[in-house]
Structure 1
Amino acid sequence: MRDATDDLKALRQRLAEAEHYLKVGELRARQPQLETEASRPDLWDDQERARKVTSELTQVNDDLGLYDDLTRAVDDAETLHEMAREEGDDSLEPEIDEAIDDLRRRFEELELRSLFSGEHDEADAICEVHSGAGGTDSQDWAEMLLRMYLRWAEKQGFDVELDEVSAGQEAGIMSATFIVKGRYAYGLLQGERGVHRLVRISPFDSQARRHTAFASVAVYPFDEGADDVQVDIDEKDLRIDTYRSSGAGGQHVNVTDSAVRITHIPTGIVTSCQNERSQRQNKERAMQVLAAKLAELEREKKAAELAEIAGEQREVGWGSQIRSYVLQPYQMVKDLRTDFEVGNPSAVLDGDVGPFMESYLRWRRAEDEQTD
């Protein structure tokens, strides 16, 4: 039978690496502490603290459970291989190969976590899509991007809160704001920040000419329990407008004057929400989004100050084109930072954008290692 010793050694090495990047030792020490806190009878007297404790305990249990399951699976595969070799039982070879292939797949999925190095990578994500140059085509393109991310989030098992949609003048949308809730949502989505370019035969051109449209994506970490950046918002700095909700329609849009738009006058940052049932709830959500944006602005300022002190010149990515989606004259989606590309735009636009997110994380780690 085939000698799978080297394959099993490689899996054992990957298990050791997982123990390191999952910080299994720290998790095992933290687990009983969290269990003690979670069992306190007065835990829910402080609801924010209770949510943080129970959320952290769930994550610790999930990570330890995943690591322990992989450990048992590697042990079982090694035992089966050793038994088959000792007994000369070739009939077990397909079962061993299947176990090795399954473990490789599971490690590939797990190893994505090793790419998350940012402080807020585990947080939820506030996302905005805005149409850009290209008229009606860009508004249609913005709606296509919104659908792509909603489909991706659905496939990932994330919850999505669609807070605001502004309808386009003829088709599509002018803008949309949504929150993706789930572990590593921000870590995965942060690489989508920037300008996205679409090239296709325009469905709005009677002469069927090729058009180029642009739309931008903004992503902010949304961690209601985060305290790394304190943001004080003065009510005098705000302009609050209420209006009748409008947008792409459907269950996400109200028909009362409950929508709220908040403008932070000193920075010009605008947030809005029209998805909640009441004006008060819409205002609360818009204020939460504003606080997240202002916190991100402060983090960017601090990063810029540190870069200036260090003498580094880092490209600002807000206005730069990061990815091209070409539907005509050929079929291709290419990320201009990582050079990762695929030849099936339809799948990408249907939510299969995960490989681009992973390639960005690997590219970012390589860039960070070069800088260090």
Structure 2
Amino acid sequence: MTSHPYKNLPSHTRWYRAVSTIELSAFDPVVDFPFVIARHDKVATAGSCFAQHIARHMRLRGFSYFVVEQGHFLASDAILEEFQYSTYSARYGNVYTSRQLKQLFERAYGSTAYDLDSWPLGHGRYADPFRPTIQPGGFSSLAELEIDRAQHLAQVRRMFEELDYFVFTLGLTECWFDRATGAALPICPGVSGGEYSDDTTGFVNLSVAEVVADMKEFLQNLARVNPRARVILTVSPVPLAATAINRHVVTSTVYSKSVLRVAAEELTSEFPHVTYFPSFEIITAGPSAGRYFGEDRRSVLEDGVKHVMGLFFKHATDAGAVDAAASTNAEASSVAEGRASINAMKEVVQVLCDEELLARE
């Protein structure tokens, strides 16, 4: 038999051996992950709603989830959660797009190019256009909003300068922006504060080249203030709640996720300190065959999250392969609660997801 390049390749390169004959619980598409996160490393997160699961499991496993805005020590856990303290490493809410992330860094370090004062909510209340859902009911005055924003951006600077690992979950390519300033927004004005007008609000569906350009600028800026920082990119497996383009939401979802996945590949090829973790593939591809989605065919079930995070801790940390159900008492209790806890978890994610507001229109 003649030799050929495929003859001696390992099993994970062959669909039949790596997918067709593998049970769902054994499905593992992670190969040669380059980083090993230690328990003392400061791991910061940002991105779409799915990134919240990473934060939750980092805490459950006893790793150093880096939070720079923790809220008042006298506030109850329920209040802190409602006001999105510790949802991410800083209180920036959902950062769905590469454009938002790039501009977050620039605003934190003093750029005034994207200045937007506020979105009026009525009754003397105001929302921050860059994080419209972090303050239930809005701020009581413009002064309160400005003070909170200033201290928030100061903490964002601290986060970027002190973190060891930054995990960013790319979520969307569809992006609304303020025409006057070019400021990227997490949600369309009028959905959660502000007023929509074609004259003041623009829309862009980012291309691969645009996502790569945004992320390159961010990565170069981050390296400038923190040369030791390493970046882990993921793509959210959660489909779009709605598309602003007049086509089927599934078509827009496939476009968006494809762009983000290709962009992540280009970035990891160019930057040695950047790598990719296949959360998207674990949930959507191969043996999972949709089994990790809830009844709405969009919400990711806790079983799927546990599969993703189990592989993350196995390959990306010094914890190795630890059984998720036994890793902590808190997590074991969560598993024991069964389907009720899964439904409760999905409801919490919906509350903290700006994009979910579109599904209720």
Shorter-normalised TM-score: what interval? under 0.3
Which of the two has higher C-alpha Rg?
Answer: 1
Give 1 or 2: higher strand fraction: 1
Please report the TM-score for the alignment, with normalisation by the length of structure 2: 0.23
Which has a greater percent of helix?
Answer: 1
* Greater RCO, CA 8 A, separation 6+: 2
Q: If the length of structure 1 is used for normalisation, what is the TM-score?
A: 0.22
